[in-house]
Amino acid sequence: MPSRGNAARKEKPRPIEGEILMDEKTARRVRLTRWRRLLTGLAVGLLIGGSVGLYVSPLLRVQDIEVVGAAAVSRDEVLSLTRLEGKSMMRLDLAAAERRVESIPMVQSARLERHWPQTVRLVIIERLPWAFWQIGPDRYVIDKEGIVLPGSAPLESGPVILDVSGPPRLAPGDHVDGDAVILAQAVLQRVPQTLAMNVVTLEYSPQQGLTLTTDAGYRVVVGDSQNVDYKLAVWKAIEGRLGREAMAGHVLDLRFGDRPSFQ
């Protein structure tokens, strides 16, 4: 018979209350898991601490702003509107700064780019003078979108659109009738091509839209920029039927589609 001592030696250890007994393999795996968690926590802490350190560090703050494309626009004015110098490169509100720069009448668009570690590049596209918008004796320089540009905008010669409605004086940044500006560009290009004549004057009023005078000696009320191709085709057909000489001194109204009038 086996002895009482041998039976005691073969008896499995019993866990005391609150204690979990593990074999060596399981215990090793638990220790490795604890070390991984500890190292992961240290890594996250270092990352957060490093990020905070970089955020407050002068090494990642805007020290230089490069301005590209500013010719008519004052560089100092542009820099004052960006409000980025000394700010953290990691938290720049570039969209808001772009909108502030685009508030300058001569600026058509502005784009800001980060150039790490301390530089911001500002690319500006300026508005180009295209024509004069005239109210009484006053002439205002406008671009192809109808934005009024500062009086210093360089434009030696260009089309003149006479606004006969006589609104108040305009200021840089104001927007004249954009549709009339678009239509003026179209007729100045297309009338010589389609009808072999030139536009001599351009007039605008809110009631009639755009009216032009040709070098053939008659006026044409074009109205708005809708269906320009159709209006030019009707114009050409009427001139072919009546004759250019017979139209001199009269007014052709093309505003009403297939119901043109001739007076």
- pLDDT, tens only, 239-260: 999 999 999 999 999 999 889 9
Q: pLDDT tens for residues 1-40?
A: 455 555 445 555 555 555 555 677 777 777 778 778 877 8
Q: Can you give the pTM of this predicted structure? A: 0.75
At residue 237's C-alpha, the angle toward residues 261 and 202, to 5°, is 60
Fill in the amino acid letter for 3. Answer: S
Q: How large is the average pLDDT for residues 120-138?
A: 95
pLDDT of 202 reads 98
Phi then psi for residue 260, to 5 deg, are -70, 155
Measured distance CA(226)–CA(34) in Å, rounded: 74
Position 64, amino acid: D
Q: Rounded CA gap, 102 and 98, in Å?
A: 6
Q: Which DSSP category does 111 fall into?
A: E
Whole-number Å distance between alpha carbons of 123 and 107: 10
Smallest CA-to-CA distance from 204 within 222, 192, 187, 186 is with 222
Between 228 and 16, the more confident residue is 228
What is the rounded distance in angstroms from the CA atom of residue 118 to the CA atom of residue 139? 45
Helices (H), the chain: 4-10, 24-56, 75-82, 94-102, 178-195, 228-242, 244-247
Q: For the segment 36-72, what is each residue's pLDDT rounded down to a tens digit?
A: 887 787 777 666 655 555 556 678 899 999 999 999 9
Q: Is the pLDDT of residue 129 over 60?
A: yes
Does residue 182 have a pLDDT over 60?
A: yes
